[in-house]
Amino acid sequence: MRTLWTRIGTMGTVALGSTLWSQKKTEAVRKDVESDKTSSTSDQSSSPYELKLVQVLFRHGARTPLKSIPDVLEAQWVPDLLEVPDHTKIDYVVKDLHGGPRPSAPVEDSYRASTLTGGTYPGQLTTVGMQQLYDLGLRLRRRYIQDVEFLSPSFSLKEVYIRSTNIVRTIESAKCLVAGLFQQQQTDTVLIYTEEAAREILYPNYHGCKLLKMLNGYRWAESATLPNIASDLQTIQAELGISPCQRLDFILIRDDMVARETHGMPYPSVLQNWKPVVEQRAVDMIYHIYEPSNRQTLQLCVGPVFHTLLTNMETKVNGIASDINRKLFLYSVHDTTLMPCLIALGVFDMRWPPYAADITLELYWHRQIKQHYVKVSYIGQDQKIPGCSDVYCPLEEFKQVLAMYALPKESYHDLCNHTQDVPIHCEST
């Protein structure tokens, strides 16, 4: 099969192209930011809604693929693709949640146990990905520093809390976003907090939650065997000349295709025709895995995250002295974080979240009504949450929406270990 595809040579030109692209993109975004500097500060001050707190969950930027499609045209994932632009560099330190040293990272170690063609590891943030997060930081800067004088123009630990999963691409993505948001201006060293893998709550943790693994593990295998998905997969494998015995699914195919396309790398022409199908089937699989009618499964995926977001808002509303100056929470996460969150919120658009996608929650105080409101946006677009009376959702209504899934950490860990009387499902082979 390998003889059917021409091998790609050294990808130095692609790396150079990515660097030039990122430089042009930076200049364009900066010009856009400058042009908007005189926008709506006066309009915001006259608004009855006063911004009190912002929380952003964002996906990391473009990366090398987690796995390559087997036995097809190989791409050269060379180290030049991971070059760090100077404008994304800041002074930062990674700590555990209690302020100790960064914990061990078995997930990252698993990536580094293998090497992609070209010499880099799977799942690594690329120059393009770094730029995407820097650009997201510029968008947040325009909104929260320039349009509204909400944040200080220089990073301050009193104002900003940063949390990331303990994986290099999310940690680096957080760093790049902060560089764009504050233009490398720092009052303090940036602290990025993370958690050990067994207790991570910022993604559906199949290794740390026994019950979730039992309830949902089989659905991953089952999703690839659903009639339409299985039929399309069989056809695409035949057209690519991949053995039916080779382990393959649409999520893996999509991951490799998107990574290649984002970095200007070719993939088999057969896949060009299949691109819409690959996108749709990958989403169909993930929607089956995070089935919204299965409340307990979705609760185990997003419960602690929702509880954390609610707790942050309640702390602000109640004016807890230790966090009185906290204005921004940043959470550097994954597509598998955003999708179940969007499903649980009732606003999933049946599209895979792109690199650097963000869910933003804004907490407001209405000056006339004397009441708090929450506004949710996804990739910069306001969302009307089912169960909320308007886009500006009264806080009590928003609490009711999240209450269906929100779960304190202690309750979450107790539930994760409660596996008695759970029906056993046999995985497909």
Is the per-residue pLDDT at 24 higher than 90? Answer: no
The pLDDT, as a whole number, for residue 216 is 84
Task: Provide the pLDDT confidence category of residue 422 given band limits of 50, 70 and 90.
Answer: low
Reported as a single tens digit per residue, the pLDDT across 250-294 is 999 999 999 999 999 988 888 888 999 999 999 999 999 998 888
Q: Is 173 in contact with 129 (CB distance < 8 Å)?
A: yes
The pLDDT, as a whole number, for residue 423 is 52
Rounded to 10°, the helix 127-141/12-35 angle is 0
What DSSP designation does 191 have? E
Is the per-residue pLDDT at 421 higher than 90? Answer: no
pLDDT (average), residues 140-154: 97
Element (H, E) at 381: strand 381-383
The pLDDT, as a whole number, for residue 43 is 52
- Please tell me the pTM assigned to this model: 0.89
Cα 65 off chain centre by: 15
Closest residue by Cα to residue 248 from 256, 238, 237, 258: 237
DSSP string for 16-42: HHHHHHHHHHHHHHHHHHHHTTTSSHH
Alpha-carbon dihedral 394, 395, 400, 403, rounded to 10 degrees:
160
Q: Which residues are catalytic?
A: 60, 335
Q: Give the sign of the dihedral formed by CA 248, CA 254, CA 256, CA 261.
A: positive
What are the residue ranges spanned by the domains of the chain? Answer: 2-38+59-210+292-349+404-414, 212-288
The pLDDT, as a whole number, for residue 29 is 46
Reported as a single tens digit per residue, the pLDDT across 219-228 is 888 898 898 9
Is the per-residue pLDDT at 368 higher than 50? Answer: yes
Partners of 56 in the beta sheet? 330, 360
The pLDDT, as a whole number, for residue 420 is 61
Residues 170, 262: Cα–Cα separation, whole Å = 18
Closest residue by Cα to residue 26 from 147, 150, 169, 184: 184
φ, ψ dihedrals at 196, nearest 5°: -65, 150
Is the per-residue pLDDT at 10 higher than 70? Answer: no
- 2-38+59-210+292-349+404-414 in CATH: which number? 3.40.50.1240
Q: How far is CA 343 from CA 179, 304, 340, in A?
A: 31, 15, 5
The pLDDT, as a whole number, for residue 322 is 77
The pLDDT, as a whole number, for residue 219 is 87
Higher pLDDT, 60 or 30: 60
β-pairing, 371-378 vs 393-394, is: antiparallel
The pLDDT, as a whole number, for residue 133 is 98
Task: Provide the pLDDT confidence category of residue 118 given band limits of 50, 70 and 90.
Answer: very high
Q: Where are the alpha helices (DSSP H) in 241-333?
A: 250-262, 269-289, 295-318
Tokens of 225: 């065997």
Share of the chain above pLDDT 90, in %: 75
Average of per-residue pLDDT values in the chain:
88
